[in-house]
Every structure is written in C-alpha cells, then in structure tokens.
Structure 1
C-alpha cells in the first residue's frame, strides 16, 4: 500500500495495448482506470454492481477525466493501478488514481476522475445512495 491508497489492482500490459513506439497507447490508460474502479466497487466495497444497476439502485458514469502522463509502460510490464475515493458530493464522486510499475512509488500516470451517480432506469443522475457513502467511508477509513 502506498500513501493514502487502500486499494490497488494489478494487470499485465498486453501486445494489443502497445503502439508503433512500443509503449502503451495513451487511450489504454483509461481502460486500466476503468478496470480498477470496477474492482474497487466489487472487491473493496463488496458490491454487486450488476444487481444494483438492474434494480435501479446505483450505477455510475464518467463525467470528467484528467490524466497526467509521467512515464511510459511497455509490453509485459506489471502495472499496479492504485485508486481511492477522494470526495463524494450529492450526485458525484471524485476518485484519484496512480499507476505504477511493479508497485514502485514512482508514478507512470496520475489521474483524477469524476463519476456521476446514475439511475439506469430513468437515464438520469441521482443522489449517491447512503449505503454507497457508508461503504466508501468505512473502506477509506473516514468513519
């Protein structure tokens, strides 16, 4: 565990993710973040996102992403995607990410992503459910 990050997910860079320069193509980093946030909700918070979404209780969509590229990842690198929930507003959630190689502190990428709590039945934003807030606060050590 590094800094204030209580959750991480590891993955290996695949051949299909590198470009002509033999480094990970920039758009794949968003996929890495997406994989990590899904694992955060499933593993760390122990939520069944499929059921929550199907019941119209909770889902989320990306509203804004800011990525700061520090260094490049290469084929077969093991990456650790660290993520933490920074803030929960009324309908939005802000997450911070850091991608490192082999759990070294030096980041390849820093990111800030804002998600909006979304009701899949009404196709509109909705307040972040209290149950989600409580699970996040408990996991992040803010209770």
Structure 2
C-alpha cells in the first residue's frame, strides 16, 4: 500500500473508465465525487450502518462534499481511494478522502464530506447511534471527543 494512504482504514481500488474522460482529455470532475461516494459506501457498509438504518430509520445522509484536484487522471489507470473519519459530533461526522493514481504514483485528489445522522422516518437530524459511533472508533483505532463545532 502506498505510504500516501497510511492512516486510511478503508481503501478501495477502482478502474478509471474510458467513459469518464471529457473533452479536455482527462477524467471529468464529476467522476471524482463518484469515487468518493464508492469509498463512502464501502466505509458505511463496514460499519453496518445500512443495517442500523433498516432497523431504526436512522442512517447517514451527505450534507456537503468538497474536492481539491491535484493531478488529472486519465484512462487507463487504476486508483486507490482511501477514506477515514477525521472528527465526530453528536449528529454528524467528517470523512476525508484521498485518491491515489497507480499510474502516476501520486495523489490525484483529496476531499472531505460531512455526513449527518438522519432519521428518515421523522425527516430530521438524529444523534449518531451509539453502536455506529463505537464501530467508527474501533475502525479508526481511536476515540473521538465530541467536536466543538456542535
């Protein structure tokens, strides 16, 4: 694993698809957010958050996403997308993403997303379920004090 992805507990590999290229002969910016989404879903699945949502109605919803493009990706390539939680509040957490190009051997993009714990039945924010919080801390290998941004 590249040292650029140390500290990311979930890493997925994805191929760059020909159809992701745009008129400027590189991967279109929209695809980077899809890569982030694929990593986010892999992380959430590792937590069992989907099962929690199905049982309680409380699950994750993306509140915001940001991407900083460092190097253009092109076809063909395989990328590694690392994801980790950087902070956690009572009803939200921030995920950091890093895309590593195996062709370039460099970081192609970095970003973050704020995930809100949401009660889909009542259509409002909800506290992160204790079991989900515990699984995040276990996966990340550290405790998260409640963020002062609450």
Question: Is TM-score (shorter-chain normalized) higher than 0.5?
Answer: yes
1:31 paired with 2:54, answer: no
1:117–1:127 CA contact under 8 A, matched in 2: yes
CA distance in 1 between counterparts of 2:49 and 2:130 reads 16
Q: Which residue of 1 aligns with 2:91?
A: 91
Structure 1 alignment gaps of length 5 or more: none
CA distance in 2 between counterparts of 1:104 and 1:94 reads 28
Alignment RMSD (CA, Å): 1.8
Q: Which residue of 2 aligns with 1:7?
A: 10
CA distance in 1 between counterparts of 2:104 and 2:132 reads 31
Structure 2 alignment gaps of length 5 or more: 144-150
1:37–1:83 CA contact under 8 A, matched in 2: yes
1:117–1:128 CA contact under 8 A, matched in 2: yes
1:66–1:112 CA contact under 8 A, matched in 2: yes
Q: Which residue of 2 aligns with 1:134?
A: 134
1:56–1:120 CA contact under 8 A, matched in 2: no
For residue 105 of structure 1, report the CA deviation from its aligned partner: 6.3
Partner-residue secondary structure (3-state), 2:45: helix
TM-score, normalised to structure 2, is: 0.85
1:41 paired with 2:60, answer: no
Equivalence map 1:64-103=2 (5 Å): 64-102=64-102
TM-score, normalised to structure 1, is: 0.89
Q: Per-residue displacement from partner, 1:34-92 (whole Å, max 9, x unpaired)?
A: 1101011223x3x161x332333431111121211000111121011000011110111
Partner-residue secondary structure (3-state), 1:28: helix
| Aligned residue pairs, count | 140
Runs of 4+ in 1 over 6 A off after TM superposition: none
